[in-house]
Amino acid sequence: MAEREQGLKRRLTSGQMSMIAIGGAIGTGLFLGSKFAIGFAGPSVIISYAIGGLITLLLMGCLAEMTVAHSTSGSFGAYAEHYI
């Protein structure tokens, strides 16, 4: 297995900045679009968002523990490579 280069590079390319901007626009659209979903389906949409948020919170807790146990530079794929 090839050794990974250690350390982080502190730079963003124009493509990465574009993806951040697109992600922000999509996120805003999702929150504004929720108004129509809540109006159509009622308060159950808010409960669904709360359940999804709880699942995300638990997943991020697991990722935080993996980061503390095996700190490497890289994305989630580095943890998958290590554990699989």
pLDDT of residue 50: 93
Would you say 4 and 78 are in contact if contact means Cβ atoms under 8 Å apart?
yes
pLDDT of residue 1: 54
Mean pLDDT split into 10-residue runs, the chain, 84 residues:
68 91 88 83 88 96 86 78 81
Task: Output the pTM of the full model.
Answer: 0.56
Would you say 35 and 49 are in contact if contact means Cβ atoms under 8 Å apart?
no
pLDDT of residue 2: 59
Would you say 76 and 63 are in contact if contact means Cβ atoms under 8 Å apart?
yes
